[in-house]
A and B are shown apart, each in its own frame.
Chain A
């Protein structure tokens, strides 16, 4: 019994499926609002791919749904269907058309990739150093900060590296991402085009490569300022005042921030030190007593040999044991003194 195919029904199903998918694609804010030129270009490629996918999805959905509705066998009827082996024209079409479509996506993507990797003349160069579990940003004036401040509408060329394992630098609103690899420097270009304000005070800097126990907490901030505000900040001295007994010129609070202590520990004198992975550094006294050591000695030991004494309620093997070799001794002394003298 030959069946007549209702092409009207087929097209209607396709249009409905496509419309639903298009609504999902358009009304859900999938991508973050772009805050850089590069993100704007990424958005374009994203939409190019989306339109292609909507069409393919609608076609496949239409044929599948139509078949499910109209081509069911009668229960118990295991007789065969029509012996259709193929259709050369159709097969050529569905080979060539996708090939052309994906090639076009390649071309569009390659162009955007080239533009997004073009730093232009006179970019601002900032060295980004990742380590377990903090970010450091070093500016051309050789000052280092834990927060990335950028001028709007000027391309910044980030030179990214790592001190230990793989990390990855990402700001979702900027679109751009690049791994931090020990032993090499990877470049990443960002041209922010949206200034932060009170409503949106910063864009998050997120580590996106599993780097150990503090990976989820390895975050920082990117703050985009007007050119004028940036220049004022850059020229002015925004380093915290040196703490007593600064280690060889570097204030102890900066040593604290540079080594990412705040990612795992809470410490009131350092705003932003709100980590909960390790013990609260404001009240170390009782633990030092349990360890049978003076406060200063215990703090120093905890930095260079964290597993020597574990604060009750915490686990061994969590705090990296490498600080003894990566932080100079005088800085460790300064840092320990700083923490000891700021107990609450």
Chain B
């Protein structure tokens, strides 16, 4: 397997990895061997402390699963993080001991093992995120295959209602928290420092930690599914009061969300500081590529909004573990309060899940059409408009919830208004493609497919923005159709575009173009066959989150299920292409797409510290066709300039 980052030709002990520890030191040096004992140590210590407190306070029974499992979901992961060394440097620093000289041994990947420990190289972290999120994508998709098999016919065939509710709840939870939200952290991690001409992120160690928080969150959710007594089965939205009365597995969901949320917040902080302070000289905000703009807007959303979902889950946990009554109406609680707090994050969350994708599409469409992005400034401003407006629309998820009736009208107005900046983006992409010289490579297929499918998803959102229509369509399969058109046809299509586009940069090899195209077409066709009919059955009367349904929807559900199996199969092609090409693909050149942005001006894969010399940015990143225009001047004679049009 090609190294992602290779050491420069001149070697000195500064960059050589230290000798691997032997003997007893294997268990004291940071790594998986140490984690083997620190994980249970801290985990059981925390449980023990809790038992001690319960015993001293005469809370019976002392050994009660709910509070003990709750603290365990904090203790065991903390022990793991301590063991693998995520906190080592800070521990030395804060304890006043002399810090170890920085030998960059935790930076860059020379062997496959380097991917399995905290690594400070943003390129390695990017790959760690991508592989992890794609693994959860397969798992979450597999859960969907299971419940689509159940839904193929009315009645209960394979799963009882509890298991069915666990399957649908965790399909969504894993896809949202462990796939779509973090996958953009992965792509962004790899590309952003390169795109802005930086050697790495502002906080590389924090970056390393932020990655490891993600598999913890994902694994907790998976463990929750198989907990004896029952898994989380209140939907990914986990509405109170149902959520506080769920089986034990629900605790894993509540806490898994916290870990995944922490990962998201820490990454966003890093992105924000990096983008604000570490752009190469000459790269003003108005010379930033739109991917950087998009991640800037997204990271702002993340840091402002994610604490609210943390809060909502904490309140549910308090109700359950400490018997508070935030949402227990019989004892003075306010059931709708959960929904307001939850959706105050979860609506911006959907923008968190799409804005980076918008950035990716802007990159791909511009490069593959050989034209500047149409209306660059308005494209950047529309990202900011979506960011701001995105905070004012949350109650459109609550039009039938029973909140104050008048509140629905302003929420409707802001919801419908968000269509304006979103529309600006779609029109601008289409105008970029217009009159271009289009290369229908795999990334471009995904980008064009995205525009087509996301337009449909966005238009179905217009329907849902109108309160009277939403009153009819809410909580039905129309919503399920809308969700998947914007999150699969939207976000995941942009992720595929990004992965294929940057694959040569990340791996140094080219993916198989024919398999890539086959993957796209199979996905595009089966995706539409699976989800378009769901608009119809929803409006006609099929509610969501049901294993059983009226007989007249039987044929539709059978068709949808079969189409969904095709959709699942298309992922196999993707996985094969990625794995096979990473190992055996054609060696890629530095700039196979002839793009102007900075990441393409270094080798594939890039040098360990990205640039031999910090580039000097002298122009915009999309100046295709402009004679004499340059984006940046790099060390030596390398220049980032467009190929003049009108040639050969």
Contact = CB atoms under 8 A, between A and B. Distances in A.
Contacts of B431: 63, 87, 90
A49 B466 contact: yes
B15 interface: no
Interface in B223-252: 229-230, 234-235, 239, 241-242, 245, 247
Contact of B430 (A39, A63, A179): A63
A182 B439 CA distance: 57
A209 B462 CA distance: 22
A204 B459 CA distance: 29
B535 interface: yes
A281 B621 CA distance: 73
Contacts of A53: 459, 462-463
A309 interface: no
A265 B244 CA distance: 26
A79 B645 CA distance: 5
Contacts of B474: 177, 208
Contacts of B544: 208, 210
B545 A77 contact: no
Interface string B392-434: 0000000011100100110011001101100110111011011
Nearest to A112: B468
A71 B438 contact: yes
B369 interface: yes
Interface stretch (A144-152, A163-171, A192-200, A293-301): A163-171
A236 interface: no
Interface string B472-496: 1011100000000000000000000
Contact of A106 (B412, B433, B469, B535): B412
Nearest to B405: A117
Nearest to A82: B625
Contact of B241 (A29, A56, A165): A165
B624 A276 contact: no
A83 B161 contact: no
B242 A183 contact: no
A106 B413 contact: yes
Interface stretch (A94-102, A220-228, A336-344): A94-102
A45 B469 contact: yes
A30 B540 CA distance: 7
Interface residues of A, number: 91
B3 interface: no
Contacts, number: 297
Contact of A52 (B437, B438, B462): B462
Given A80-B642, A86-B376, A109-B469, A71 B335 contact: no
B543 A204 contact: no
Contacts of A64: 430, 433, 448, 451-452
A304 interface: no
Contacts of B412: 106, 109-110
Contacts of A239: none
Interface stretch (B17-25, B254-262, B546-554): B546-554
A85 B333 CA distance: 56
A262 interface: no
Interface in A312-333: 315, 317-318
A102 B648 contact: no
Contacts of B416: 102-103, 105-106
B468 A178 contact: no
Interface string B349-393: 000000000000000000001111011111000000000000000
Contacts of B336: 181, 184
B510 to A, nearest CB: 15
A80 B644 contact: yes
A343 B374 CA distance: 76
A125 interface: no
B433 A71 contact: yes
Contacts of A82: 371, 435, 625, 645
A28 interface: yes
A130 to B, nearest CB: 12
Nearest to B620: A85
A81 interface: yes
Contacts of A32: 539-541
A84 to B, nearest CB: 6
B584 interface: no
Contact of A105 (B430, B451, B466): B466
Contacts of A77: 437, 648
Listed residue (B229, B335, B413, B543) with the most chain A CB atoms within 10 angstroms of its CB: B543
B540 A45 contact: no
Interface stretch (A134-142, A211-219, A243-251, A252-260): A211-219
Nearest to A98: B423
Nearest to A102: B416
A135 B438 CA distance: 59
Contacts of A176: 471-472
B424 A109 contact: no
B420 A102 contact: yes
B420 A95 contact: yes
B170 interface: no
B579 interface: no
Given A64-B430, A166-B335, A86 B374 contact: yes
Interface in A103-129: 103, 105-106, 108-110, 112-113, 116-117
A68 interface: yes
B345 to A, nearest CB: 19
Contacts of B375: 85-87, 91
B116 interface: no
Nearest to B408: A113
A175 to B, nearest CB: 5
Contacts of A308: none
Contacts of A235: none
A199 B389 CA distance: 48
B247 A317 contact: yes
Contacts of B428: 91
B424 A85 contact: no
B330 interface: yes
A314 to B, nearest CB: 8
B626 A83 contact: yes
Interface in B144-164: 155-156, 160-162
Contact of A109 (B426, B438, B448, B468): B468
Contact of A91 (B229, B400, B424, B648): B424
Contact of B463 (A49, A71, A80, A116): A49
A311 interface: no
A95 B424 contact: yes
Contacts of B247: 317
B161 A1 contact: no
A217 B543 CA distance: 11
Interface string B157-200: 00011100100000000000000000000000000000000000
16 contacts: A32-B540, A67-B435, A68-B440, A72-B440, A79-B644, A80-B370, A80-B644, A83-B371, A83-B645, A109-B468, A164-B241, A177-B474, A181-B335, A186-B402, A216-B547, A277-B160
Given A60-B451, A80-B371, 19 more contacts: A29-B540, A49-B462, A49-B469, A78-B370, A80-B643, A82-B435, A84-B435, A95-B420, A102-B419, A102-B462, A103-B413, A110-B412, A166-B239, A177-B472, A181-B336, A215-B165, A215-B545, A277-B161, A317-B247
The 5 closest A-B pairs by CB, nearest first: A183-B329, A83-B625, A216-B546, A208-B475, A73-B437
Interface of B: 155-156, 160-162, 165, 229-230, 234-235, 239, 241-242, 245, 247, 329-330, 333-336, 369-372, 374-378, 400-402, 405, 408-409, 412-413, 416-417, 419-420, 423-424, 426-428, 430-431, 433-440, 448, 451-452, 455-456, 459, 462-463, 465-469, 471-472, 474-476, 535-536, 539-541, 543-550, 593-594, 623-626, 629, 642-648
Interface of A: 1, 3, 5, 28-32, 39, 41-42, 45-46, 49, 52-53, 56-57, 60-61, 63-64, 66-68, 71-73, 77-87, 90-91, 94-95, 98-99, 102-103, 105-106, 108-110, 112-113, 116-117, 160, 164-166, 168, 170, 172, 175-179, 181-184, 186, 204, 206-217, 276-277, 315, 317-318
